[in-house]
Amino acid sequence: MNVGDLWFTDDCEAGDTNWTRSGSPDLWHITSYRAHSGAHSWYFGVDSTHVYPRNADAAITSVSLTAGEENELRFWYWYDLTTYGSDGVYVILHAGGAADTVEFIGSGGALNYPPEEPLNIYSGWVEWSMDIAGLAPGDAFQVEFAFSSDGDDEAEGVYIDDITVRSRTPEKTGVGDVAGRTPGDVVALLPNPVRDEVRILMAPHAAALVLGIYDIEGRLVKELAAPAGARSVSWNLEDGGGRRVAPGIYLARINGDAYSSTGKIVVLR
Ligand SMILES: [Ca+2]
């Protein structure tokens, strides 16, 4: 990845806390029966029989994500679905109070790869990706996977793994150059590179903010609270468990109600 990119990535190996379940029956769960990465993936169905029920309508929806300048959704899926009918997963994007169905992976839908395979015997993992249009930097959005089945026939269903949203953010440079910036922007990192402690300077902001330190893979390393009006937050290069982080590049990201900003921190030995 390029420095300055932000990633939301969920390999389903650390539980379901990035997602909220809704609908019925409530059968979305992390399974260890199949996985694209590691040992776990999302699955809608009954684990003991590996079959989804008829007349299902249930979804998982992600935590709120913050758009950058360019945003791309990727995930891997595995499917076994009935040839006829309307069973499958809708991919839905939520932003600005609107819901936009961008894909249907199911009977009569997007199951055309490889085209020579009958629909209900294909059993490989397939990668899906799409540029997300219509988002401005700072927009909040959510990703939903909604499983739906009709009243006829059933099969094993759909597994989803390695869900990633890549968001490229504008470069932030300059010290004290506050004019034109969104409140809460990372204005400067002092010192940078850093050996002991870095002060993250930001433009004045009216509300309390949470500043996340992420490693280059997009994993959250530490959360720092910035009270309303604070102009800087310090990070002592420790992770959430109080351990000194490894040398390398880290991203300081501020999440507010409607904006986000990122600064690159270089941690030395
Ligand atoms: Ca996995």
Å from CA of 11 to ligand 1 middle: 4
- Quote the ligand 1 centre to 78 CA distance (angstroms): 12
Strands, E, within 4-97: which ranges? 5-10, 19-24, 28-31, 41-44, 57-62, 65-66, 70-80, 88-95
Bond from prior residue into 193 cis (ω within 30 degrees of 0): yes
Ligand 1 centroid from CA 162, angstroms:
6
Burial of residue 2 (CB within 10 Å: 0-12, 13-18, 19+) is exposed
Q: Tell me how far apart the alpha carbons of residues 178 and 231 are, in angstroms, rounded to a whole number.
A: 11
Angle at 46 between CA 43 and CA 52, to 5 degrees: 75
Question: Is there a contact between 72 and 132 (Cβ–Cβ < 8 Å)?
Answer: yes
Distance from Cα 170 to the centre of ligand 1, integer Å? 30
Query: Whole-prediction pTM value?
Result: 0.61
Write down the pLDDT at residue 123: 58
Mean pLDDT of 209-232: 85
Give the distance (Å) from ligand 1 centre to CA of residue 256. Answer: 30
**Which value, in Å, is the radius of gyration of the alpha carbons in the chain?**
21
Rounded Cα–Cα distance for residues 160 and 195 (Å):
41
Q: By the 8 A CB rule, do 207 and 191 touch? A: no
- Of the candidates 41, 46, 47, the one whose C-alpha atom is nearest the C-alpha of residue 60 is 41
- Measured in angstroms, how far is the CA atom of residue 55 from the centroid of ligand 1? 27
Ligand 1 center to residue 111 CA distance, Å?
Answer: 22
Determine if residue 38 is left, alpha or beta; phi over 0 gives left, psi from -120 to 50 gives alpha, anything else beta.
Answer: left
Sheet architecture: strand order including 220-226: 220-226, 209-215, 248-255, 260-267
Region 199-206 average pLDDT: 73
Provide the pLDDT for residue 257. 43
The whole-number pLDDT of residue 131 equals: 86
What separation in Å is there between the alpha carbon of 35 and the centre of ligand 1?
5
CA of 135 to the centre of ligand 1 (A): 28
Cα 38 to averaged position of ligand 1 atoms, centre (Å)? 5
Q: Say what the pLDDT of residue 201 is.
A: 76
pLDDT score for 202: 73
> What's CA 10's distance to the chain center, in Å?
6
pLDDT of residue 232: 80
Q: Which pLDDT score is estimated for 172?
A: 41
Distance CA 24, CA 35 (A): 24
Query: Pick the residue with more confidence: 7 or 63?
Result: 63
The full set of domain ranges for the chain reads 5-168, 186-267
Between the CA of 60 and the centroid of ligand 1 the distance, in Å, is 16
Q: What is the pLDDT of residue 138?
A: 78
Residue 15 in tokens = 């539980």
According to CATH, the topology of domain 186-267 is Immunoglobulin-like (2.60.40)
Ramachandran angles phi, psi of 120, nearest 5°: -100, 25
Please report which confidence band the pLDDT of residue 7 belongs to, taking 50, 70 and 90 as the band edges: low
pLDDT, one tens digit per residue, over 74-133 is 999 998 888 777 889 999 999 988 898 888 888 766 555 444 554 455 557 888 888 888
30: CA distance to ligand 1 center in Å? Answer: 9
Two tokens at 43? 């699955």
**pLDDT per residue as tens digits for the range 138-188:** 788 999 999 999 998 889 999 999 998 887 654 443 333 333 445 556 667
Q: Domain 5-168: state its class.
A: mainly beta
State which residues have CB under 5 angstroms from ligand 1, the bound ion: 11-12, 35, 37-38, 40, 161
Cα 261 to averaged position of ligand 1 atoms, centre (Å):
29
Instruction: Give the pLDDT score at 179.
Output: 36
How many Å is the maximal CA-CA distance in the chain? 64
**What digits encode the pLDDT tens for the residues 25-65?**
999 999 999 999 999 999 999 999 999 999 999 999 999 88
Neighbours of 128 (CB within 10 A): 16
Task: Give distance in angstroms: CA of 39 to centre of ligand 1.
Answer: 5
| End-to-end alpha carbon distance in the chain | 23
State how far the Cα of 259 lies from the Cα of 89, in Å rounded to an integer.
30
